[in-house]
Structures are given as structure tokens and as C-alpha cells.
Structure 1
Amino acid sequence: MVYFECGLCNETVKKPKLAKHLQRCGSHTVSCIDCSKVFAWNEWESHTSCMSEAQKYQGNLYQGKESSNKGQVKQDTWVDGVRRAIEDPQTDVAPHIRSLVQKLLGFDNIPRKQKPFGNFVKNSLKIWDQSKIDAMWNVVASASSKPDGKPPGKAGQAVPEPGKPPAKEAKSWPGWKRAIDDELTVGAMPWKRLCVRVVQRYLASGNAGDNDELELKALSSIPEDYCCAKTPNVQLSGSSG
């Protein structure tokens, strides 16, 4: 599931709930928690998936678990095919059906069989009009993936760039203070977002733990002189802005 940070109030919001949040908050921009990319109010819906923290910090040495990756890769390929179908300028899909399918792609684990798909649409999008559900199913059922032109690689393993030697070792967990410093080198950020990113890095390094407890650990590891009483932002000591 993709999470976004509101550009106005800094609240972290799941994608399916983001549209209502923006209507209430009035922000014109949001940013992805995982990749930090900033999206305008009319761009975020197309951002349906993102690199994992493990991929981000382990680079070319990242290897997903094959048992879980096979199904995920198949699902992602199918979702990409659906996305291409509704974004095709030559598509004859009605605009309101295209919009509904776009919203649906914000959810995880969309069923690929008709009956479970119909139930999923009813529960997720609260759509009960069978004609709309059938029209959405026709779109996703007819979508097929196309070759992306990339050389094949092992599932979950990135293919090294030509001429670039692979890294010798993945980044290990540097400790809470160092991880906080690393995240803040790009600039100040709200403490909540900082804690989420540091915990994601901790888990991506092969560690385990309860998210809530780990976020409290990250929060308690922020040096006092990194905080400002006037804003929720955290920044490296001596930084300005």
C-alpha cells in the first residue's frame, strides 16, 4: 500500500483515503513516503506502487523472497497491464469507468477472478451498480502485459547496469542516531515522517520488531538539539531553515 504525506498539514495518509483528505485539507501537493517524490493534486493517483525500503537501501544486492515474490510479480505485471489499458489515448473505455478503475488500482491484492473482483469492488469502492462493476471487469480482464524491453533477471533481483560493477555488500544498520542523521542530510522534515523512514530502514536491514514500538525508539533517539519548539520539523544541529 502506498502512503502519502500531505504537503500542507504533514499528515501521513493511505492512498485510498487521500482524495477525501485533500478535499478537507485543501493541500495542492503530496509526497510519497517511500520515494519522497512530490505529486500535484491531480498527479498522485497514477502512483500505485513504489520501491521497497529494502530495494532502496540494498541496491543491486536486493533479493526478495521467491516464495512471496512470484505471486507479487505476477500481480504487479497484471496491474501494470490494467494501467496501460486505461492510460492508452486510443482507449474506448468510458471516462467514468476509467476513473473508477484508476481508484481501484490504489488498493492491494485486487482479485483477478470475476466473482471475487465484484465483491472486492463493492467492499472497497462501495459501488453496487452491477453494470459499472461489469464494465470495470471488462477493462481489467482484457488488459494484458507488454514486454518492457528489460533483460530478464531473477524475480526480486535488480539487473546491474551495463558497465557498472555490482556493490560488494549491502548497507547494514548503522544505528539509530546515524540513521537519523542520514535521513536529515536532505533537509528538515516532520518528526513523524522521519520516524517512519528510519523504522523502514531498520526493517529493511534485516531486523524485526513492532512498528509502533520501533517508531517510539526512533523518536526517543532524536537528539534534543535537532528539534524546534515552534515547528514539528526536525533538522541536523546547526542547520537553518
Structure 2
Amino acid sequence: MVFFTCNICGESVKKPAVEKHYQMRCRGNNKNVSCMDCLKDFYGEDYVAHTKCISEAQKYASQSGGFAAKEPRNKNAQKQESWMDIIRAILDSSEYNLTPPVRSAFQKLQSVDNVPRKRAKFENFVANCIRIPRQQATQVWDILEKEMNKMKEAKQAELAMEKAEKAAALQQKQKENAEDEAPPKKKSKLEPTEDAAAGENANGISSDFDWPAQLTKLVSKQADGIFVEKLRKKLLKKYAKHLSVEDLTEKQAKKFQKRFDKQLRLADSLQVDGDLVKIAS
């Protein structure tokens, strides 16, 4: 708790008792106190905002010049300071439309640095120490609780937004790393040229190769006809030339054989007699 020295009479006074001191002991004088720890002077109501002061270690460290004391880690003090921030936020807010008695109660709480944070203890404290009626103490607590919940929701929303932003940034970074590390696509050694590939369908057979015309042309050159096997070999060379390759792949060769047999059966201009193919009469 912060202690002050009255600069009028020199008496040491606890912070909650400053107001009473000037009403009883130094009546008629302007308030003028000094903090016993940091030795800072406060005039009028300025002392009310002085809720936290330096520790003794920090005080003597500043006097020694070379030594720097570490700030003690007091979680309870941090929670109490947050609690006082809520009280100050309510006084500064226009949301609650505080009545004069309730505003006066909050102003009294602002000058105390050990306000309980539990409802039952809070109501007993303000009723016994600050002399606030219990019904009014309940109203003050309800406002405190509302502001506290609002601050919690705002903090949770802020944390959720930060978490979402970090997740999005991590996902984007992983995506960029995956794109950078992806191996280039390998081209098949047996892949035909672009012109030839453009003429092939999904089955590996050229879609613009004129099968009936090519078959008729080859057979018409032989007046007595041509054997099927010989016709197949001649047409295979033409087809390979059409694809701009020297040799067909195994898959392409199988597809070619099936297409050759089918086109030979369907050709109206040709006649198959055993192993011999002639122009239809």
C-alpha cells in the first residue's frame, strides 16, 4: 500500500486515510502530500492516481548509480492493477450513466489499491471500509462485472484474430515452400513431337489420319491385290511417318493393329479374300 507524508504537519498517512486526515487534522489547508517511497509531491487530488510506487530495491539502486534492480514479478499485483484499470475505465466511460452516489463510490475505490476481486469480499470491504451501503455496493459490483466481461470478450476476440492471422501466414508460407520445392515435370522419352501429339486422341491413335483413303491407295497400286501382312507393314510406315517417329511404342503398336483390322473390315472399297486384299469390284 502507498504511504504519504503530509507536508503540512509531517504525519505519515495511508493513502485511503488522506481525505480523512485533511478533514480532521489539517482542516482548511490545501492537500499537499509526498510519497514516502518515490518522494514525489502531490497537490490537491493528484495523489489519487498514484496507485503503484517503486520498491525499496529500486529506490536504493537508483541512489547507488551502477546497480539495476530487477522488477519483482508479482502476479497478484498485476491482477490488482488490471482490476484498477477496470474501475478507471468505468469512470471515464459514458456508457453506464452513473448516478452521483455510484460515481462517488467508484471515485473512492480508485483511491484504494487493495480492492477485493470476489463479489462477497468486495461487498463486505466497501460496506465496512469505505462505508458504502450494501445495496449500493451490489450496484457497483454489477457494473464492475459487466465491464470485466466486456474486456474479457474483447481480449478473446483479439487473441482469436491473432491466432487466425498466424495460421493464415503459416499456411501461405507452407504453400510457397511447397511450390519452390516441387520437382519439374519430366517429359517422356517416347513422347511424340508437338505436331504429332496434337493429332493423337486419348488412345494414342491419330485422329486426323485418313485410314480408308490410305488403305485404298495402297491396295489400288497392286492390280492383283496385296497380302494383308504386307499391307499392314506399308500402312504402319505411313502411320509412323505421320506421327514423325521412327518406331511406335508397344501401346501405340497394339492400338494400331486393332484399328487396322477394324478399318479393313469396314472399308467398302476393299475386298478381303483370305490373306489377299483387292479393290472391290
Please give the TM-score of this superposition, normalised by the length of structure 2. 0.45
Residue in 2 that maps onto 1:77: 82
Match of 2:140 among 122, 126, 136: 136
Aligned residues: 144
Deviation at 1:65, TM superposition (A): 4.4
Question: 1:122 pairs with 120, 123, 127, which one?
Answer: 127
Q: How has the CA–CA distance of structure 1 residues 6 and 46 changed in structure 2, closer, same or farther, with 3 Å as cutoff? A: same
Distance 1:55 1:89 in 2: 38
The farther-off stretch of 137-146 and 106-115 is 137-146
TM-aligned CA deviation for residue 89 of structure 1: 6.0
- Report the counterpart of residue 109 of structure 1 in structure 2: 114
5+ residue gaps, structure 2, are 156-281
Q: Equivalent residue of 1:13, what SS?
A: strand
Q: Match for 1:37 among 37, 40, 48?
A: 40
Unaligned runs of 5+ in 1: 148-241
Q: Could you say if the C-alpha distance between residues 34 and 87 of structure 1 is closer, same or farther in structure 2, counting changes exceeding 3 Å?
A: farther
How is 1:205-220 mapped onto 2 (pairs within 5 angstroms)?
Answer: none
Q: Please tell me the residue identity of whatever aligns with 2:51.
A: T
Aligned partners of 1:10 and 1:91: how far apart in 2?
Answer: 40
Describe the SS at the equivalent of 2:116. coil
Give SS of 1:5's match.
strand
Structure with more contact order per residue of length (Cα contacts < 8 Å, sep ≥ 6): 1
Post-superposition offset of 1:91: 5.5
Q: CA RMSD in A?
A: 2.7
Is the CA contact (8 Å cut-off) linking 2:16 and 2:111 kept in structure 1? yes
Checking the alignment, whether the CA contact within 8 Å between 1:54 and 1:62 is kept in structure 2 is yes
| Cα shift at 1:82 | 1.7
SS at match of 1:140: helix
Alpha-carbon distance in 2 for matches of 1:58, 1:100: 38
Which secondary structure state, in structure 2, belongs to the residue aligned with residue 31 of structure 1?
strand
Distance apart, 1:137 and its partner CA: 0.8
Which residue identity is paired with 1:63? K
Structure 1 residues 91, 46: CA separation in 2 closer, same or farther (over 3 Å shift)? farther
1:92 to 61, 84, 97: 97
CA deviation profile, 1:98-137 (whole Å, cap 9, x unmatched): 221222233343221212211111121122341x112211
**What per-residue deviation string (whole Å, max 9, x for no partner) do you get for residues 79-104 of structure 1?**
12322321346652223322212222
For residue 50 of structure 1, what is the amino acid of its counterpart?
C
Quote the Cα distance in structure 2 between the aligned partners of 1:106 and 1:55: 24
Structure with max Cα Rg: 2
1:63 alignment partner, one of 70, 78, 82? 70
**Structure 1 residue 48, shift from structure 2 partner:** 2.2
**How far apart, in 1, do the equivalents of 2:88 and 2:95 lie?**
13
- State the match for 1:170 in structure 2: none
> 8 Å contact 1:6–1:31 — kept in the other structure?
yes
Which position in structure 1 is the counterpart of 2:2?
Answer: 2
1:79–1:105: 8 Å Cα contact kept in structure 2?
yes
Q: Distance in 2 between matches of 1:139 and 1:46?
A: 21
Say which structure is richer in helix.
Answer: 2
Indicate the residue corresponding to 1:14 in structure 2. 14
For residues 71 and 49 of structure 1, the distance between their equivalents in structure 2, rounded to whole angstroms, comes to: 13
CA contact (8 A) 2:51 2:113 kept: no
Equivalent pair of 1:34/1:52 in contact (CA under 8 Å) = yes
**CA deviations over 1:116-160 (Å, ceiling 9, x no partner):** 211111121122341x1122112322144899xxxxxxxxxxxxx
TM-score in terms of structure 1 length: 0.51
Question: How far apart in 1 are the matches of 2:11 and 2:137?
Answer: 32
Identity %: 39
Mapped to 1, the partners of 2:43 and 2:69 lie a distance apart of 31
Q: Secondary structure at the match of 2:129?
A: helix
Indicate which of 41, 48, 53 corresponds to 2:51: 48
